[in-house]
Amino acid sequence: MPTPTTFAPAKQFVGVANETTQGTPVAMTSTILCDEIKPKDNPTFLEDKSWRGSMATDAFAKIAGVKLAELELGGPAYGDGLGYFLRNIFGDMAVTGTSTGTGGTTLSAQAAVGATNLSTVATIPAATVVQIGTGATAEVFTTGTPTGAGPYTIPLTTPAGGLAFAHASAQPVQPVTGPFTQAHSLLNSGSGQPISHTITHFLGPTATSGARQYPGACLSELGLKWNAESELLTWQGKATTWPSVALGSAPVAAPSTVLPVASWRMLLGIGGPATGGTLVNTVTDGELTIKREVNPYFTVTGSQNPYIIQRGGLSVEGKFNFVAADESPLLYMLNNTQPQVQLVLDNGLTGLNKITFQIDVQIAAFTAMEPDGTKSAVEYGGTFQAVLNTTNAGGSGGYSPCKVSVTNNVAAGTY
């Protein structure tokens, strides 16, 4: 008797890649370290129930309809991997680096969205990593070979696609190095549609490659959870995708060496930043949930696949559990104070090894707060909703309910 063919789930892995065209699959460029993935293809079937003179109420035929797929995935939050999914659900991303302290110059003319070169007062050597602008419209590029005798033309080679934001004349152009910080907010410019991703899942049974791809992935939910006593910072996402396709050749896992971060390292501020007088030391655990409306549209194009998976509105809510030192948590709700909330989780390392997660909610409306007298110490469990505001908005303007920033040593153009 031949040896049965089986596949070991322990060997599975997940990959991700940015798409240029939503729904067109691309080979994975990064391995996403997950401990859970639940893919599900959802083809629809159209039933023919026309009367045929038979004592039957079931269908006489099932005809193939349109197709979609769904994904649930998650695990520990890694500082170099979570950015893919934050950009997928928010859309707006500013990138800043660590200044080298030398070689800086300024723009000698305005630079428009989509521009692939800059006009600068001083020259910049080729292959220099530079930050253009500051704050919500900051972005980082690698330069090409300069030309001109002043002002100088500086090509922007990486990432491709040119500038994401417009930059006025005299804005700084500063050489930078890692670590870099990506600040994610709600995209409000253009079509308002964030980037989509191809998710690759190596499981084993698929012929030739052992893997299936889920293109056009659009997140409808991204949750972050923490517990100081017992957990790492973890995440879970839900996505709608094009139907899966078999990958032609076997993908290769290339896991990161970056480690996840224990929740006890988190600092929480209410009514201000997570420092000084607004630092709160009584929260044991909590979660933040980002939800996005996602709606696939099917049109008469001769294809079972979506015409587009459209992203709609975004909302954010959170939960905290407090050890009751006083009634402050209850009064947040009763007095409708809507305080600022900031969470900062740092891995404690420095330089290129530094990982930081920062969540900023400028206006947090606490809508529920329940006392719990069943445990060793009195607790309060509360829920808040993030209120749209301009402080948390990114370079695309408008409003955003919150901003999530991640510091790491990931090169610009990765997400």
The answer to whether 184 and 191 have CB atoms below 8 angstroms apart is no
How many C-beta atoms lie closer than 10 Å to residue 222's C-beta?
24
Kindly report, residue by residue over 249-288, the tens digit of the pLDDT: 999 999 999 999 999 999 999 999 999 999 999 999 999 9
Percent of the chain predicted with pLDDT > 70: 100
> Which residue, among 83, 355, 87, 359, has the nearest Cα to 226 in the 3D structure?
359
**Cα separation values, 34 from 18, 141, 236, 271, Å:** 18, 29, 9, 34
145's tokens: 């070979």
Q: pLDDT value at position 147? A: 95
Burial class for 273, CB neighbours closer than 10 Å (0-12, 13-18, 19+) = middle
The answer to whether 43 and 67 have CB atoms below 8 angstroms apart is yes
> Which residue, among 135, 168, 347, 152, has the nearest Cα to 258 in the 3D structure?
347
Q: What is the DSSP letter of 336?
A: T
Q: What is the DSSP letter of 354?
A: -
Kindly report, residue by residue over 193-210, the tens digit of the pLDDT: 999 999 999 999 999 999
- Mean pLDDT, the chain, rounded, equals 97
d(CA 10, CA 7): 9
Q: What is the pTM of this model?
A: 0.96
For residues 20 and 1, the model is more confident at 20
Q: Does the pLDDT value for residue 395 go beyond 90?
A: yes
d(CA 257, CA 251): 19
The answer to whether 98 and 179 have CB atoms below 8 angstroms apart is yes
In which residue are the tokens 């079937």 written? 45
d(CA 37, CA 44): 22
Burial class for 165, CB neighbours closer than 10 Å (0-12, 13-18, 19+) = buried
Q: pLDDT value at position 3? A: 87
Kindly report, residue by residue over 97-140, the tens digit of the pLDDT: 999 999 999 999 999 999 999 999 999 999 999 999 999 999 99
Q: Does the pLDDT value for residue 1 go beyond 80?
A: no
d(CA 88, CA 92): 9
